[in-house]
Structure 1
Amino acid sequence: MTGAPADAELSRLAGLHGVAVSYRPAPDRTVTVPASAVVAALAALGVDAGTPDAVRAALAGRERELRQRLLPPTVVHWAGDPRGPAALGDLPAGTRLRVEAEEGTEGTGWESYGGAGAGEDAPSSAAALVAGLPLGVHRLTALAPDGRTARAHLVVAPDRLPAPPGRTHGLLVQLYSLLSRRSWGMGDLGDLAELAGWAGRTAGAGFVQVNPLHSAVPGAPTDPSPYRPSSRRFPDPVHLRIEDVPEYAYVADRTRLDALLERAARLRAAVLDKGALIDRDAVWEVKRQALEEVLAVPLGPGRQAAYDAFCTAHGQALDDHAAYHALAEVHGPDWRAWPDGLRDPRSAATARAHLADRVAFHTRLAWLTDGQLRAAQRVAREAGMAVGIVHDLAVGVHPAGADAWAQQDVFAAGMSVGAPPDAFNARGQDWGLPPWRPDRLAATGYAPYRALLRALFRYAGALRIDHVMGLFRLWWVPEGSPPTEGTYVHYDAEAMLAVLALEAGRAGAVVIGEDLGTVEPGVRETLQRRGVLGTSVLWFERDWTGDGRPLPPERWRADCLATATTHDLPPTAARLTGDHVELRDRLGLLTRPAGEERTAAAADAAEWLALLGSLGLLDSTATGPPGTDEEAEIRAVHRFLLRTPARLIGVWLPDGVGDRRPQNLPGTSAEYPNWRLPIADRTGRPVPLEELTAAPRLRALLEVFGQLRGGGAAATGPRARGLPGDSLT
């Protein structure tokens, strides 16, 4: 940047493009962001603001564009709203409109007239135009009397997202950590189906929530975090249960498969019997070699027809995804380092042709994984689960991965998503995820977002959206700058929510928003109004506007998933015993003296235990003073959650065996084995799925939810079979 643009003009230009020049981390505090961050964000949106002259030219151009524009790129109408879209009411009188209905919906389109001055009762009003439209994303054309024309996407969405079918509880688990004696060194989709079938029938659970199962960046070592995937649209075949692929039974030469099974058994034994960390790369190498043998078996006619239908449904996106993985095998996983002719997915046709067999291999893997994911959901619903499998949508993708390569036109080059400084991290955060450009999303009618949601809802009973505040705004950090020198860029939240409501409604799926941390005023209220559930974690639920004491259960919100902990927080046993402080002390992560941390943690736990005791939630058989009967206290924590009005209540599965270790410790990388730990008991001994489901401690914990069993779609639980369950008075 040469010279400094005039502050007022830069602010106006930024505001017209949704780029913030300041933000409020607290109601009484405003922070001005660096001008360099504003200029960089505008550049990523295709706007030159590098000099005062450039700012003035861009500002004049944007204001002229908005004056002359008939319609925004995407228009939203909420079904049932008698007013119609506001954007149509602003059209000049006599504007001619035509709607072409979305393919597959009723109606072929029709013409109308509308605009200012048409009159409230005129059949040509905006409300009349959209009144009969089916739900969907339609094409809207406007022709003004002065000759101006515009084409826009018209999203007609249900007023609210689907609600949970009754009140229910469920299990939260990181799938890789859930090893059985049949898995190949990490938890897989066969294990997920087994857990869901057991939890639905034996524990009356209504759902199982897992970590993101998105496709990872290939290569070794790969990024172990499920929150920095290569693609969010396609799942990772590392989760496949190889033996469940139908063609597995027809491999003629079993010699190689038998050798691979032995290697898989050694990987499994290393984790479960010898305490080794989960080695995702080693697991994938064995599975990949096995899949080479399995996929050599021709598909039968019925399977071939199903495969062809899958390919047709996903079209170019699937071809791009498979081509990326085929090219990565030759040129490495970072497309930004590929030869020039391959960095553009549309110019890589020749290379794709040479790698046709490998493209077909990776296409088959996507289909197989999708099939096992849908099978797991069927098992969950057949076991009586009201919701089934809750999948997790990461906030973004890895810059080197398949989505970033195939969708370069909708990602903001040179920017990364993160978070500004806050009470928990004074340096801010840079998550290394390129953000979507809001202008390009709107221009496409949110096509990439719609396709992503539709793919996930194929096999999800519910979807958890990580950092759901990102539907409203994201903190953009310029490449090479610290996260403190970023700025917020706003998205059209109404359009993002409308698309979410449309796709969730079509699938009949519930949506849970992870809304922890700093949330812009009005966001939670908007999400609640549209039916997106929030996330409430026990240790954060305090009366922050009053005396700061633990929030009593009756004051919790109802439209939420209530839990005791998450994958980024200490398990409940560690929180109650103070083990989480000792862990952070060993790793040098404390921000104040260890003694102060221990005292504060003990006071926090004691305050919650005192509330639990005062409510009569501790077992009458518990012995000793508070803090001495860990199992009883964990049950009391979950009785407390049951006392809240929360629609969904989640049990962190490792809490059922006393695991002390968080699956992820924010702020660490090499210091701690994030995303590589199997579920273990209080001593750190890994617990396989077969032993986990038989554990008396877990069964006693789940019996807390006896009063929820037998209702709604979960009528096959233990209460229906006469098994014991807690009753609260």
Structure 2
Amino acid sequence: METNMGLEKLLYLQGVGAEYIDCHGHHAQIASSDRLGILASMLAKPNLNAEPLNPLAPSAALDITESSLNDKTFSLDVAPWLSLLPSFQFCHLTHPVILIYLPEQSVEIAFTLTLEEGAVTSSGQTAFQWICHTQNLQIIGDYHHNNIRYCRYQVTLTDYISETLPIGYHQVSAKKFNHNLAVNEPEPAAGILMVAPKSCYQGEIMDNRQSLIKPANDNAEPANTQSANNKPWGISIQLYSLKSAVDTHDGMGDFKALKQLIEYSAQQGADFIMLNPLHALDIANPDNCSPYSPSDRRRLNPLYINIDELHDVDDRDNKLAGFDMNLNHAKLINYKRVFECKYKIFVKLYELFCSKEQANSTARYASFIAFKAQQGHSLSAFCQDQIKQAPEWLAMPADFYAYLQFIAEAQLRDCQQYCLSLGMKIGLIGDLAIGAILQGNEVQSHADQFCTHASIGAPADRFSPSGQNWGLTPLDPIKLKQHNFSHFIDLMRCNMQLYGALRIDHVMGLLRLWWWPLDKTLGNGAYVYYPLDILLAIVCLESQRAKCIVIGEDLGIVPPEISAAMQQSRLLSNQLFYFSQNHDGFIAPQQHKSHSLMMLANHDVAPLKGWWQGEDLHIRDRLTLYPHPQQYQDELRLREKERYQLLQWIDMGFKTFMAADFAIPSELNALSAQIASLVALSPDNALAMKMLEDLPFDQLLDAWLMVAATSEASLFCVQLSDLMADKHCINIPGTWKSFPNWQRRLAKTIDHLKQDKQVTQRCQLITAVRHKTACFNKVV
């Protein structure tokens, strides 16, 4: 289907893409019918019933008349030039400016700038007023409409304000100055001026270009600087998978287990713990347990609450008799049972809270009231939604759900403070999911800022020939702008205030997202573009305010605009070891991106042992996820090649250690010789393959971790399951009910972990490399 010029212009203004570079590096054109299907989804009325559009053909669903097409185009293309001030604009702190829009003319403009509540300049000022003349302003853009030239004038604030403005969301108003007192002055235009820093908060991240250990062919000595010898590392976990101890009421990992892991990790020299998303999930369907499919990303999942730590448990043993879950022995989490058992406990604890705290108007109850007031309408809307979605047996008032959020947030904040008190440099790294489910409170209470007739995902690639649909509702870039980006700001603020660092899942979404129409008759989707510069400025501002480092998950198809923007804003890249390859094999640690987080593995790939044994490939074959049997065989052959390349990489790492005069632990000397012998053979040699199978994996893992820890990356992260040499996959992409994703618990409790000398030694190896290379031989 061809589009006429009017429709093509509207598609452009709505941000619907026409082409992209696919995963193979080829130029891909998006069909007009697919683009029109996305446009139809965007222009439909918000969906408040969580139902897809009625099945209509794209042309019928679009149903745009010439008049409505012109009206819509006018509102997006012409109208902004007819308003003196936009409702929202931003500038950087280093170059503060205001943009105004006027027909070309010589006129004076009177301005008032009022700083955000609580913000003051160094001299104590909170507001400024001045008058400027358009003939003294720079024109940085123009637009012709009805034979009139409209100009975008730039007002440089340093010409009128001598003080440095604080960052924040300030109010600006402007009006034409009328010297004729007989004529009424026009009404002023008003809007928000966001003054943003140019970069995210850096904290302990230092831009040093000195490798921990120089490559073997580099004769220069490593720089003896603190930054070169003290690069942070940490442990990543799926919090639900932790076991604090053999507690009968511990059905899944919670903040109690997290505190115990924090203590252990700090003792081992770790600087952070990286978490899965802790967002609130669908209370109506506890079995929908993916942490990346939240109902509201601004709220926490109450199932992580540590019951033992509550102030209301003085007489818990008497009040909570009969609520013994006895689920701790299970390998897989039964979320429905955990939900039922834990919420019954929550009900009793809330009743205790009311009878003890509310009835006596205690300081703790006052804190709860203050929490509700600070959270405002957002929290009350969430609680009302929980009432509607909860099962019939859980008939509780709104304050019950507010109480759970009050407790969960307090405990998570306490965990972050505990990290810092034990000397961790960063503490907790949170994870922000890319979207939320349609039927959840976040979308339904802000349906006017989302496109409720579409879901996000990814176009076809070699792993998903039909593309990926994640079932998450996208923010609408046009509606987001019309609401002054309020929800995006709230989303960043709510998450950043809880952590020392925040990982933004699929950071490419700041620039573009692949949308699928919910109505399948509307085509196969298209990319929709977002205002990257504004969204990134908001991220930088909220990051600096919360003192929260930001990491962007930039795995997959990454447009060059995203890479450049991340570098300029000091937003850390997220590297994954398996994907850090070139045509010769795995990239040397000294060549990893310096301003990045390097993860050896994450939730979407096999753990190290599982990868080495091909467990992920075998699972996909058993689940018949390969379109053709030959593809499975091809993947097996590729894995054999990659295993051999891994040994080459480790061998080069050992040579680098020796060239730098660092001792290799004695138990790895024999392995080093084995690997050197194997690497000397051809990967096609049958003997080489047999030797590869004979390698002791525990020692191989030690070597793998030790070499990887020399990574140039600012942050280095290892899964706890990998430190334990667990082979089980967390999530198999492309499966839902056919594989127990997000359900597996770790085999060992935290108590057992503390007694595991092998795990402790691995932590010590990593710490020695990341923190104190000069003392490396002490762990031999």
TM superposition score normalised by structure 2: 0.81
Conservation of the 8 A alpha-carbon contact between 1:230 and 1:397: yes
Go from structure 1 to structure 2 and tell me whether the alpha carbon gap of 1:102 and 1:609 turns closer, same or farther (over 3 Å shift). Answer: same
Partner of 1:7: 4
Deviation at 1:141?
2.2
Matched-pair contact (CA < 8 Å) for 2:597–2:715: yes
Distance 2:239 2:262 in 1: 12
- The alpha carbon displacement at 1:132 in A equals 3.1
Q: How far apart in 1 are the matches of 2:75 and 2:155?
A: 33
Q: Say how many residue pairs are matched.
A: 673
- Residue 700 of structure 1 corresponds to which residue in structure 2? 761
Q: 1:282 to 1:94 in 2, by over 3 A?
A: same
Residue equivalent to 1:652: 719
Matched, 1:491 2:530: yes
CA–CA distance in 1 between the matches of 2:404 and 2:550? Answer: 27
Greater shift, 402-411 or 557-566, is seen at: 402-411
Q: Is the 8 A contact 1:211 1:392 kept in 2?
A: yes
- Equivalent residue for 2:264, pick from 177, 193, 198: 198
Deviation at 1:127, TM superposition (A): 4.4
Shift of 1:29: 3.2
Alignment of 1:572-587 (within 5 A): 572-587=608-623
**1:565 equivalent in structure 2:** 601
**SS of match in other structure, 1:485:** coil
1:109 is displaced (CA, Å) by 2.3
Deviation of residue 258 (structure 1)?
Answer: 2.8
Deviation at 1:707, TM superposition (A): 3.0
* Inter-partner Cα distance in structure 2 for 1:91 and 1:38: 37
Q: Separation in 2 of the partners of 1:44 and 1:153?
A: 29
8 Å contact 2:203–2:547 — kept in the other structure? no
Q: Quick check: 1:207–1:388 contact (8 Å CA) kept in 2?
A: yes
Percent of aligned positions that are identical:
25
- Matched with 2:735 is 668
- Measure, in 2, the Cα distance between the counterparts of 1:164 and 1:247: 37
Q: Which residue is 1:311 aligned to? A: 372
Q: Is this contact kept in 2: 1:563–1:641, CA < 8 A?
A: no
Matches within 5 A, 1:51-450: 51=64, 53=66, 54-81=68-95, 84=97, 94-106=108-120, 107-114=125-132, 116-119=134-137, 125-128=156-159, 132-144=164-176, 150-166=189-205, 167-181=231-245, 182=247, 184-200=250-266, 202-251=267-316, 254-260=317-323, 263-264=324-325, 266-269=326-329, 271=330, 275=331, 277-297=332-352, 298-299=356-357, 301-329=362-390, 358-450=397-489
Deviation at 1:505, TM superposition (A): 0.7
Q: Indicate if the aligned counterparts of 1:22 and 1:31 stay in contact, CA closer than 8 A.
A: yes
Counterpart of 1:100, as a letter, is: T
Cα distance in 1 for residues equivalent to 2:698 and 2:365? 52
Aligned equivalents of 1:23 and 1:453: distance in 2? Answer: 28
Residue segments in structure 1 that go unaligned for 5+ positions in a row: 334-354, 680-685, 712-718
For residues 89 and 24 of structure 1, the distance between their equivalents in structure 2, rounded to whole angstroms, comes to 39
Question: Any conservation in 1 of the 2:16–2:38 contact (CA below 8 Å)?
Answer: yes
Q: 1:458 aligns with which of 491, 497, 505?
A: 497
Q: Cα 1:424–1:8, aligned 2, differ >3 Å: closer, same or farther?
A: farther
Distance 1:123 1:675, change over 3 A: closer
Q: Verify the 8 A CA contact 1:90 1:116 in the aligned structure 2.
A: no
Q: CA deviation at 1:583?
A: 2.1
1:465, 1:91 → 2: CA distance? Answer: 43
C-alpha separation between the residues in 2 aligned to 1:281 and 1:330?
Answer: 11
**Contact preservation (8 Å) 2:113, 2:173:** yes
Q: Is the 2:298–2:494 Cα contact (8 Å) retained in structure 1? A: yes
Q: Is the CA contact (8 Å cut-off) linking 1:171 and 1:650 kept in structure 2?
A: yes
| 1:339 matched residue in structure 2 | none
Amino acid of the residue matched to residue 228 of structure 1? S
Q: Distance in 2 between matches of 1:553 and 1:700?
A: 21
3-state SS of the aligned residue for 1:140?
Answer: strand
3-state SS, counterpart of residue 413 of structure 1: coil
Q: 1:89–1:116: 8 Å Cα contact kept in structure 2?
A: no
Q: Which amino acid aligns with 1:138?
A: H
Q: 1:256 to 1:332 in 2, by over 3 A?
A: closer
Separation in 1, partners of 2:776, 2:407: 38
Alignment of 1:28-39 (within 5 A): 29-39=26-36
For residues 510-564 of structure 1, the C-alpha deviation after alignment (integer angstroms, 9 at most, x for no partner) is: 1111100001122112112101101111111123xxx353222222111111011
Following the alignment from structure 1 to structure 2, what is the Cα–Cα distance between the partners of residues 575 and 51? 52
Q: How does 1:601-680 map to 2 (within 5 A)?
A: 601-616=639-654, 619-622=668-671, 624=674, 625-626=691-692, 628-679=695-746
Q: Residue 87 and residue 391 in structure 1: after superposition, are their counterparts in 2 closer, same or farther (change >3 A)? A: farther
In structure 2, what is the Cα distance between the partners aligned to 1:415 and 1:72? 28
CA separation in 1, counterparts of 2:722 and 2:415? 23
In 2: Cα distance, 1:598 partner to 1:709 partner: 34
**Are the counterparts in 1 of residues 97 and 154 from structure 2 also a CA contact under 8 Å?**
no
Residue identity opposite 1:695 in structure 2: D
Let me know the Cα RMSD of the aligned residues: 3.0
Give the drift of 1:230. Answer: 0.9
- CA deviations 1:598-632 (Å, max 9, x no partner) are 22101111112112112316831427544512122
User: Shift of residue 57 of structure 1?
Assistant: 4.7
CA distance in 2, matches of 1:431, 1:480: 15
Distance in 2 between residues matched to 1:233 and 1:445, nearest whole Å: 18
Counterparts of 2:103 and 2:537 in 1: how far apart (Å)?
21
Give the partner amino acid of 2:606.
Answer: P
Shift in CA distance, 15/629, structure 1 to aligned 2, threshold 3 Å? same
Instruction: Give CA-to-partner distance per residue, 1:315-345, whole Å, 9 cap, x none.
Output: 0001011111112236899xxxxxxxxxxxx
